[in-house]
Amino acid sequence: MSDRIEKRIELKAPIARVWRALTDYREFGEWFRVKLEGPFVPGKVAVGQITWPGYEHVPWKATVQTMEPERLFSFTWHPYSIDPNIDYSTETPTLVEFRLEETATGTLLVLTESGFDKIPENRRFEAFQRNDGGWTQQMKNIEDYVAKAS
Protein backbone atom coordinates (compact mmCIF):
# COMPACT_ATOMS: atom_id res chain seq x y z
CA MET A 1 0.00 0.00 0.00
CA SER A 2 1.15 3.53 -0.62
CA ASP A 3 -0.63 6.83 -0.42
CA ARG A 4 -0.86 7.20 -4.18
CA ILE A 5 -2.83 5.54 -6.93
CA GLU A 6 -1.22 4.93 -10.30
CA LYS A 7 -2.90 3.54 -13.42
CA ARG A 8 -1.35 2.94 -16.82
CA ILE A 9 -3.57 2.41 -19.82
CA GLU A 10 -2.75 1.95 -23.52
CA LEU A 11 -5.15 3.78 -25.78
CA LYS A 12 -5.35 2.98 -29.46
CA ALA A 13 -5.83 6.60 -30.42
CA PRO A 14 -3.51 9.45 -31.43
CA ILE A 15 -2.15 11.59 -28.61
CA ALA A 16 -3.99 14.66 -29.95
CA ARG A 17 -7.28 12.76 -29.71
CA VAL A 18 -6.61 11.70 -26.12
CA TRP A 19 -5.53 15.20 -25.16
CA ARG A 20 -8.82 16.58 -26.46
CA ALA A 21 -10.85 13.95 -24.62
CA LEU A 22 -9.08 14.92 -21.40
CA THR A 23 -9.07 18.68 -21.64
CA ASP A 24 -12.10 19.71 -23.71
CA TYR A 25 -14.66 20.20 -20.96
CA ARG A 26 -17.50 18.73 -23.01
CA GLU A 27 -15.53 15.66 -24.02
CA PHE A 28 -14.19 15.20 -20.50
CA GLY A 29 -17.74 15.37 -19.25
CA GLU A 30 -18.85 12.62 -21.65
CA TRP A 31 -16.65 9.87 -20.28
CA PHE A 32 -16.19 11.24 -16.77
CA ARG A 33 -19.96 11.69 -16.48
CA VAL A 34 -20.05 15.28 -15.37
CA LYS A 35 -21.71 18.31 -16.95
CA LEU A 36 -19.20 21.15 -16.69
CA GLU A 37 -20.18 24.81 -16.88
CA GLY A 38 -17.16 25.93 -18.90
CA PRO A 39 -13.66 25.17 -20.22
CA PHE A 40 -10.72 24.08 -18.09
CA VAL A 41 -8.35 26.98 -17.35
CA PRO A 42 -5.15 26.59 -15.31
CA GLY A 43 -5.51 28.14 -11.88
CA LYS A 44 -9.30 28.26 -12.19
CA VAL A 45 -11.93 26.18 -10.49
CA ALA A 46 -13.99 24.00 -12.83
CA VAL A 47 -17.54 23.43 -11.64
CA GLY A 48 -20.20 21.05 -12.83
CA GLN A 49 -22.87 18.53 -12.01
CA ILE A 50 -22.37 14.79 -11.95
CA THR A 51 -24.45 13.03 -14.62
CA TRP A 52 -24.13 9.53 -13.19
CA PRO A 53 -27.66 8.12 -12.67
CA GLY A 54 -28.57 8.49 -9.02
CA TYR A 55 -25.90 11.09 -8.33
CA GLU A 56 -27.28 13.99 -10.40
CA HIS A 57 -27.71 16.09 -7.26
CA VAL A 58 -23.96 15.99 -6.60
CA PRO A 59 -21.83 18.99 -7.57
CA TRP A 60 -18.41 18.39 -9.12
CA LYS A 61 -15.48 20.69 -8.46
CA ALA A 62 -11.80 20.66 -9.32
CA THR A 63 -9.02 23.25 -9.52
CA VAL A 64 -7.02 23.00 -12.72
CA GLN A 65 -3.28 23.05 -12.05
CA THR A 66 -1.35 22.33 -15.24
CA MET A 67 -2.19 22.06 -18.93
CA GLU A 68 0.90 21.20 -20.98
CA PRO A 69 -0.49 20.27 -24.39
CA GLU A 70 -0.32 16.53 -25.14
CA ARG A 71 1.89 15.94 -22.08
CA LEU A 72 0.31 16.76 -18.77
CA PHE A 73 -3.11 17.70 -17.48
CA SER A 74 -3.55 17.99 -13.72
CA PHE A 75 -6.10 19.18 -11.20
CA THR A 76 -6.70 19.04 -7.49
CA TRP A 77 -10.00 17.87 -6.05
CA HIS A 78 -11.65 15.91 -3.30
CA PRO A 79 -12.11 12.34 -4.51
CA TYR A 80 -15.29 10.44 -3.87
CA SER A 81 -17.01 13.51 -2.43
CA ILE A 82 -20.53 12.33 -3.08
CA ASP A 83 -22.28 13.33 0.14
CA PRO A 84 -23.88 16.78 -0.42
CA ASN A 85 -24.13 17.28 3.35
CA ILE A 86 -20.38 17.22 3.86
CA ASP A 87 -18.20 20.27 3.41
CA TYR A 88 -15.22 18.73 1.66
CA SER A 89 -13.47 22.08 1.27
CA THR A 90 -12.00 21.82 4.77
CA GLU A 91 -10.11 18.70 3.72
CA THR A 92 -6.79 18.71 1.95
CA PRO A 93 -7.36 17.98 -1.75
CA THR A 94 -5.56 15.30 -3.70
CA LEU A 95 -3.65 15.90 -6.92
CA VAL A 96 -4.76 14.10 -10.09
CA GLU A 97 -2.30 13.96 -12.98
CA PHE A 98 -2.84 12.64 -16.49
CA ARG A 99 0.47 12.13 -18.30
CA LEU A 100 0.54 11.27 -21.98
CA GLU A 101 3.21 9.55 -24.02
CA GLU A 102 3.13 8.66 -27.69
CA THR A 103 3.59 4.95 -28.45
CA ALA A 104 3.84 2.86 -31.63
CA THR A 105 0.16 1.96 -31.39
CA GLY A 106 -1.28 5.12 -29.94
CA THR A 107 -1.00 6.75 -26.55
CA LEU A 108 0.10 5.64 -23.11
CA LEU A 109 -1.86 7.36 -20.38
CA VAL A 110 -0.44 7.34 -16.87
CA LEU A 111 -2.86 8.52 -14.23
CA THR A 112 -1.73 9.26 -10.70
CA GLU A 113 -3.67 10.50 -7.74
CA SER A 114 -1.56 11.50 -4.76
CA GLY A 115 -1.66 13.40 -1.51
CA PHE A 116 -4.03 11.36 0.62
CA ASP A 117 -2.49 12.92 3.69
CA LYS A 118 -1.68 16.30 5.11
CA ILE A 119 2.08 16.36 4.96
CA PRO A 120 3.45 19.06 2.64
CA GLU A 121 3.81 17.51 -0.80
CA ASN A 122 7.58 17.96 -1.19
CA ARG A 123 8.59 16.49 2.15
CA ARG A 124 6.32 13.48 1.85
CA PHE A 125 7.44 12.81 -1.69
CA GLU A 126 11.04 12.87 -0.57
CA ALA A 127 10.35 10.44 2.22
CA PHE A 128 8.79 8.02 -0.26
CA GLN A 129 11.47 8.41 -2.88
CA ARG A 130 14.47 8.10 -0.63
CA ASN A 131 13.52 4.91 1.00
CA ASP A 132 11.34 3.08 -1.43
CA GLY A 133 12.78 -0.36 -0.77
CA GLY A 134 12.39 0.11 2.95
CA TRP A 135 8.92 1.52 2.59
CA THR A 136 7.74 -1.30 0.36
CA GLN A 137 9.14 -3.96 2.65
CA GLN A 138 7.77 -2.33 5.75
CA MET A 139 4.33 -1.90 4.25
CA LYS A 140 4.46 -5.54 3.18
CA ASN A 141 5.15 -6.58 6.76
CA ILE A 142 2.34 -4.43 8.05
CA GLU A 143 -0.05 -5.67 5.37
CA ASP A 144 0.80 -9.28 6.11
CA TYR A 145 -0.01 -8.57 9.69
CA VAL A 146 -3.24 -6.78 8.82
CA ALA A 147 -4.29 -9.68 6.59
CA LYS A 148 -3.64 -12.17 9.35
CA ALA A 149 -5.49 -10.12 11.92
CA SER A 150 -8.60 -9.34 9.89
Partner 1 sequence: MSQRRRSSIAARRQAHASVFAALGDETRLALLAKLSDGRRSSIAQLTEGTRITRQAITKHLRVLENAGIVNAVRHGRESLFELDPEPIAEVRQYLDQVSREWDQALSRLKSFVEPEV
Contacts with partner 1 by CB under 8 A lie at 1, 3, 5, 7, 9, 11-13, 17-18, 21-22, 27, 30-33, 79-80, 83, 86-87, 91-92, 109, 111, 113, 116-119, 124, 127-128, 130-131, 134-135, 137-139, 141-146, 148-150
Measured from the CB atom, is 43 or 83 closer to partner 1? Answer: 83
Q: Are 94 and 76 in contact (CB under 8 A)?
A: yes
Least Cβ distance, residue 66 to partner 1 (angstroms): 19
Measured from the CB atom, is 67 or 124 closer to partner 1? Answer: 124
Q: Are 37 and 59 in contact (CB under 8 A)?
A: no
Which is nearest to 28 in space by CA: 18, 43, 15? 18
Q: Are 76 and 66 in contact (CB under 8 A)?
A: no
Exposed, middle or buried, 43 (CB in 10 Å: 0-12/13-18/19+)?
exposed
Measured from the CB atom, is 50 or 64 closer to partner 1? Answer: 50
Least Cβ distance, residue 39 to partner 1 (angstroms): 18
Measured from the CB atom, is 12 or 43 closer to partner 1? Answer: 12
Least Cβ distance, residue 102 to partner 1 (angstroms): 14
Handedness of CA 146, 110, 125, 122 (dihedral sign): negative
